[in-house]
Amino acid sequence: MSPQSSSAPVIELPVAHAPDLARMRAVFDAQRAHRWTMSRTTAAERIARLKKLREAILARREQLADAIHRDFKKPAVEVELTEIHPTLEELNHTVKHLKGWMKPTRVGQPMLLAGASSHVRHEARGVVLILSPWNYPFQLLAAPLIAAISAGNCVVLKPSEKTPNTSRFIAQLIRDVFPENEVAVFEGGAEVAEGLLQLPFDHFFFTGNPRIGRKVMEAAAKHLASVTLELGGKSPVIIDESADLAATAERVAWGKFINAGQTCVAPDYIFVPASKERAFLDALKGVLTRFYGDTEAERQASPDLARLVDPVAWRRVKDVLDRSVEAGAKVETGGTADGPSRYLAPTVLSGVTPDMPIMEGEIFGPVLPVMTYQRREEVYAHINGGEKPLALYVFSQDKRAVEEVFQHTTSGGAVVNNVLIHVANPNLPFGGVGMSGLGNYHGHFGFKTFSHERAVSVQWMKSLVAVFYPPYRGKTQEWASRATRMLE
């Protein structure tokens, strides 16, 4: 049965799981006892595990799409493009390159260390915890899991309780593919996460919001463990005078309203030249008609629009929208809302100012505020006056203008003349900066995130360093002075 045609009710409440602290500890201890076996696995053995995971995903892709649809009516095509495809891309890329990644990396030697050789070994961190979010409940758990396995770790997973059907799917999938002393899953809410955070993992990997990210970082600090935080933020779109407005409107609308705007790198707000505002808004409205229907009734009935994940999320986005309209924002299109089905129409706002409620925090919903500017300095001042965004998007045909944007701003990632696509390239690091995140992953960067880079120097021949041994007189003092002069 396709997800769109499923008659099963949408589950509103998360599955209740009381935290079993004793079982958590037992699983953790079993993984800690097994971690040296895992860390010594060869590339072929790790690849075999990854291929087994890939086969299981391919065999259950329809079940996965159905589970996600039951949670928040995500269209099957979006599940394929944003959950299954990037996971398989990550798997295939890792399988192809893992043998090379695992090889020690030779590095050069300074003249003083002639006779020695040096290299970097990539070693498993040990037992790692991955706390994943609800907005892309499968892909954002699977991608770091692939990286952790490729680096030779044991892994504990905690999927989000906000998507209970997907969480159950993940738990069964993992149990069928991996023994629990290699990869284990704990379902449940905040109590389960808090219980896991008390355990001395070697690495903590969290995707979510900054508030919880701070708690994860505090937990890691207690154990002096490494941490990766994938957070979010208000990712801006800058449109300049040279941009192709038709293409810009199409790409921005796709990136904003996919998954009902519940994407950490979704375009959060637009800066468009005042002289181009009306043309851009008209183009945007035309795209929404083509994507989702001409009338609000057609859009609400569209099978191509996901829903907000739960009533709390719906009320939050609806409230910030209402308060912004009361403050003077104009609804150009959209605004229709239905609480029981958690529907909020794709909505575009004009007349937005930086002090409005819609600009206070990450929207994480299908509302797109549009602001205008006269000079690019206004744009830079606004962006740099807030927290560093996870992504930044520039639409321009002027290469010098694009470079100027990069010189005057910072962000976790950036795309020119499109949105979101940087996330789909396993050759690029994905991560934030400042409040939008700490560390990165995907492809080789994920392998390195879950590895310890061990510095190794090997002395097989006679060492020149011996000429500097004490006592520090005569020739020793002379050689030390000569060595320094060589660097002047």
Which residues have C-beta within 8 Å of that of residue 341, sequence separation ≥ 6?
10, 307
CA neighbor of 389 nearest in space, from 256, 213, 231, 234: 234
Residue 60 has pLDDT above 90, yes or no: yes
For residues 282, 286, 292, 298, the Cα torsion angle rounded to the nearest 10 degrees is 80
Please write the tens of the pLDDT for every residue from 217-259.
999 999 999 999 999 999 999 999 999 999 999 999 999 999 9
Please give the single-letter amino acid code of residue 368. L
For 163, counting Cβ atoms within 10 Å of its Cβ (0-12 exposed, 13-18 middle, 19+ buried), the class is buried
Tracing tokens 């104009």 back to the chain, one arrives at 330
Per-residue CA distances from 172 to 88, 183, 186, 310, 399 (Å) = 19, 12, 11, 23, 49
Residue 373 domain-assigned (yes or no): yes
The answer to whether residues 244 and 386 belong to one domain is yes
Q: Is the pLDDT of residue 10 over 50?
A: no
Structural domain including 328 reads 236-428
Residue 485 pLDDT: 74
Would you say residue 407 lies in a domain?
yes
Scored b (16 or more CB within 10 A) or e, 331-360 reads bbbbbbbeeeebbbbbbbbbbbeeebbbbe
Q: For residue 83, tell me if it sits in a domain.
A: yes
For the chain, the straight-line distance linking the first and the last C-alpha, in angstroms and rounded, comes to: 74
Which of 182, 230, 332, 387 is catalytic? The answer is 230
Same domain, 212 and 273: no
Task: Look up residue 138 and give its two tokens.
Answer: 């499968």
Q: Which of 78, 90, 182, 264 is catalytic?
A: 264
Binned at pLDDT 50, 70 and 90, residue 164 comes out as: very high
Residue 135 lies in a domain: yes
- 278 with 424, same domain: the answer is yes
Q: What is the pLDDT of residue 471?
A: 78
Residue 428, helix vs strand vs coil: coil
Residues 221 and 240 reside in one and the same domain: no
The tokens describing 273, both together, are: 């030249």
Q: Sign of dihedral through CA atoms 214, 134, 434, 428?
A: positive
Establish if 200 belongs to a structural domain: yes
Query: What DSSP assignment string belongs to 304-324?
Result: T----SSHHHHHHHHHHHHHH
Distances (CA, A) of 292 to 113, 270, 286: 66, 21, 10
Task: Judge whether 230 counts as a catalytic residue.
Answer: yes
Does a structural domain hold residue 467?
A: no
Are 8 and 149 part of one and the same domain?
yes
Question: What per-residue string of b and e applies to 15-48 under the rule 16 or more CB within 10 Å gives b?
Answer: eeeebeeeebeebbebbbebbeebbebebeebbe
Query: Which residue, 374, 286, 363, is CA-closest to 324?
Result: 363
Q: In the predicted model, what is the mean pLDDT of the chain? A: 93
CA distance 75 to 65: 8
Question: Is residue 210 domain-shared with residue 315, that is, in the same domain?
Answer: no
Residue 18 confidence (pLDDT): 59
What pLDDT, on a 0 to 100 scale, did the predictor assign at position 90?
A: 97
Which pTM was predicted? Answer: 0.92
Cis amide leading into 354 (omega within 30):
no
- Does residue 337 sit in helix, strand or coil? strand
My answer on whether 344 and 258 are in the same domain is: yes
* Contact predicate 129/35, CB 8 Å: no
pLDDT value of residue 3 = 37
For residues 221 and 294, state if they share a domain.
no
pLDDT at 140: 98
The closest of 125, 122, 127, 132 to 181, measured between CA atoms, is 127
Percent of the chain with pLDDT over 90: 88
Instruction: State pLDDT tens for residues 332-373.
Output: 999 999 999 999 999 999 999 999 999 999 999 999 999 999
Give the H/E segment covering residue 457.
Answer: strand 451-459
448 lies in the same domain as 350: no
Contact 205, 144 (CB under 8 A): yes
Q: Do 72 and 309 form a contact (C-beta atoms < 8 A)?
A: yes
- CA distances to 40, 41, 479 from 44, rounded to whole Å, are 11, 8, 49
Token pair belonging to 224: 């002096």
Instruction: Determine, yes or no, domain membership for 473.
Output: no
**Residue 183: count of CB within 10 angstroms of its CB:** 23
Q: Any idea what the CATH number is for the domain that residue 374 is in?
A: 3.40.309.10
From CA 381, how far away is CA 367, in angstroms rounded? 23
Instruction: Please indicate, yes or no, whether residues 222 and 292 belong to a single structural domain of this protein.
Output: no
Cα angle at 130 between 86 and 79, to 5 degrees?
30
pLDDT at position 467: 67
Query: Could you tell me if 265 and 141 lie in one domain?
Result: no
User: What is the CATH classification number for the domain harbouring 104?
Assistant: 3.40.605.10
CA dist 310 and 160 (Å) reads 12
Q: Looking at the structure, tell me whether residues 64 and 202 fall in a common domain.
A: yes
Q: Is residue 269 part of a domain?
A: yes
Mark whether 154 is an active-site residue.
no
User: What is the average per-residue pLDDT within 26-47?
Assistant: 97
104-113, 172-181, 413-422: the lowest-pLDDT one: 104-113
Based on the structure, what is the number of domains in the chain? Answer: 2
